[in-house]
Amino acid sequence: MIARIISALILGFSSACAVVQAADPIQLAPQAPDRYTVQRGDTLWGIAGKFMQQPWRWPEIWRLNRSEIRNPHRIYPGQVVILDASGGEPRLRLGEPLRLEPKVYSEPSVEPVPSIPPQAIEPFLTQPLVVEAGGLDSAPKIVATQEGRLYLGEGNVAYVSGIRQQAQQWQVYRPAKPLADPVTGEILGHEAFFLGTARVVRPGDPATVEITSARQEIGAGDRLVPLTRPQLPTYAPHAPDKAVSGRIVAIYAGVNVGETGRSYVVTVNLGRRDGMEIGHVLALHRSAQDVTYKAEEGNEVHRLPRERYGLVFVFRTFERLSYALVMNASRPVQPGDTVTQP
């Protein structure tokens, strides 16, 4: 019944506002199946990759309108995705589910298929934190530790000044590095480094807190922010409405690293002020580089062309920065690489 309702909704939107189409036509995967039964653990990106060479463009062949692309219909395990090419252009639709798991539609706990792997981005939905310069100056801070310990770990006690909210669970941060635009040098924000979590065991000023988890050593001067429960984004992939060009500012790994790859998170110097939104897909390019060829007649300088080598999916936006997950990459991703409309 759910499959029929969803199919009707999708077909009902087929004559609505058209999706912004890319210049090149949709190309099917070489071994695209006629149908695929959705499995637990699938993602919309992964399902689309079974049918298309450019999986991020799957909303185009669902014929969904703009608002549906940003908050797509739900697809559940057990449903069947059918590739229909009878009309000349490929189209995906939902078919009748196979009756192998009759309890799938009666279990209220079944989750819809996410756009991208949730385990890869869930920690980044609430931490790390991008703030303005001095953005944590007014946050509650650790002013002392039990028995004068220099650093704290799980189970240790700290004393915190400035807790005025009723929250019991807190995240601990250390004011951290500035994030600079790799081209202009402009400071776009400051990334606060996530250290762990704490809970209030005795209110007051200072309040007594217990460290409940610690990724790094925690000490006096570190700041506390109320813990919030993340909401996993369900937005489907789509290209920005206008041409954009930005750079990879940094790679998040807790330490400074020079390169990364698939399923890792990067910081991009495009944010809400630039029109970035959750679900935007950006193409990765290695910036043009000058190389020197040593010849007998003398050195020759040649500029290598910019090369596209992968895609990232924007899942969290700030005013001047965004976090994006590397979906695929044929070479290492490096700070300074270019991102554009795919």
Residue 38 lies in a domain: yes
Handedness of CA 194, 121, 253, 156 (dihedral sign): positive
Residue 122 lies in a domain: no
Query: Of the candidates 218, 192, 220, 198, which has an alpha carbon nearest to the alpha carbon of residue 135?
Result: 192
Give 18's contacts (C-beta < 8 A, 6+ positions apart). 65
* CATH number reported for the structural domain that contains residue 284 in this entry: 2.40.10.410
- The whole domain housing 81 covers 2-113
pLDDT by 10-residue block (mean), the chain, 342 residues: 32 32 71 88 83 81 54 71 79 66 47 66 65 79 88 93 89 84 87 88 94 90 85 72 90 62 86 90 84 78 82 89 88 91 88
Asked whether the beta carbons of 213 and 196 are under 8 A apart, the reply is yes
Helix, strand, or coil here: 8? helix
Residue 178 lies in a domain: yes
Residue 321 lies in a domain: yes
Residue 233 lies in a domain: no
pLDDT at position 56, please? 80
Count how many domains the chain has. Answer: 3
Burial of 244 (0-12, 13-18, 19+ CB in 10 A): middle
Residue 235 lies in a domain: no
**Which backbone phi and psi does 227 adopt, to 5 degrees?**
-75, 130
What is this structure's pTM?
0.66
Q: Which two tokens stand for residue 339?
A: 């991102």
Q: Which amino acid is at 124?
A: F
Q: Are residues 9 and 108 in the same domain?
A: yes
pLDDT at position 73, please? 55
Residue 184 lies in a domain: yes
Q: Are residues 12 and 108 in the same domain?
A: yes
Burial of 284 (0-12, 13-18, 19+ CB in 10 A): buried
Among 226, 253, 269, residue at a domain's last position: 226
Among 91, 113, 135, residue at a domain's last position: 113
Residue 53 lies in a domain: yes
Alpha-carbon distance 46 to 327, whole Å? 10
Q: Are residues 109 and 133 in the same domain?
A: no
Q: Are residues 11 and 104 in the same domain?
A: yes
pLDDT at position 274, please? 93
pLDDT at position 5, please? 28
Among 49, 83, 113, residue at a domain's last position: 113
Q: Are residues 175 and 75 in the same domain?
A: no
According to DSSP, residue 154 is labeled T
**Which backbone phi and psi does 304 adopt, to 5 degrees?**
-75, 145
Q: Are residues 335 and 292 in the same domain?
A: yes
pLDDT at position 283, please? 93
